[in-house]
Amino acid sequence: MPAFGKTFSEYVQFQKPILVLILTVGLARLLLSLAGVPNSTVKWLSVTVVTLLGGLYCAIRVHTSGFGSYRHLLPLLVIQNTLAHTISAGAIAIAIVTGKNNIFSAPEYSGGGDGKTWLHVGAHLVLGIVVFSLVLWLVACLILFITRKLTPPRRAGAPA
């Protein structure tokens, strides 16, 4: 079902490198943590930073590539955040099932408390996806507004 005149696959294709990077960083972060690499080292692989950079990239490219406008940013960011927070929720679920913390469930990354809870999983799946997507969308809209003022649009289908 199309969202704002574009299909899910069009949104995924537009940001495929970002999604691959989010997946790579998220899985590397989890696997390194599970392998026993100290959290002080693994913390440098940040899914949040990659997602924020992805939002910045989309805010600029959605206009300069002719892909769309403000309304097209929201599905792009929801897809990014869904991937990022699903990885986090999955990693927390692994910690719950195994009884062993990983970087996603460690107290220093879970608000200081026990991160191995289903409430923490649910928070990522509901609040993380919905709230973070909306907040990032507002910031991305501001960046898109500035981009539109500074850069002429490229017509859809025009060579890069």
Label each residue of the chain as H, E or C.
CCECCECHHHHHHHCHHHHHHHHHHHHHHHHHHHCCCCHHHHCCCCHHHHHHHHHHHHHHHHHHCCCCCHHHHHHHHHHHHHHHHHHHHHHHHHHHHHCCCCCCCCHHHCCCCCCCCHHHHHHHHHHHHHHHHHHHHHHHHHHHHHHHHHCCCCCCCCCC
For the chain, how many structural domains are there in total? 1
Summarize pLDDT for 127-137 with one digit per residue, the tens: 999 999 999 99
Nearest residue to 120 via CA among 89, 156, 145, 81? 89
Domain-embedded: residue 117: yes
R_g over Cα of the chain: 17
Domain-embedded: residue 72: yes
Domain-embedded: residue 120: yes
Domain-embedded: residue 34: yes
Domain-embedded: residue 158: no
Instruction: Give the span between the Cα atoms of 68 and 81, in whole angstroms.
Output: 19
Domain-embedded: residue 126: yes
Domain-embedded: residue 103: yes
In this prediction, residues 34-52 reach a mean pLDDT of: 94
Q: What does the block give as tokens for 100? A: 């062993």
Asked whether the predicted pLDDT for residue 159 surpasses 60, the reply is no
Residues in the chain, overall count: 160
Report the predicted TM-score, pTM, of the whole model to 2 decimal places: 0.89
Instruction: Give the span between the Cα atoms of 140 and 134, in whole angstroms.
Output: 10
Asked whether the predicted pLDDT for residue 156 surpasses 90, the reply is no
Residue with tokens 């809870």: 117
157 CA to centre of own chain = 27
Domain-embedded: residue 3: no
In this prediction, residues 38-60 reach a mean pLDDT of: 95
Domain carrying residue 34? 8-150
Summarize pLDDT for 70-87 with one digit per residue, the tens: 999 999 999 999 999 999
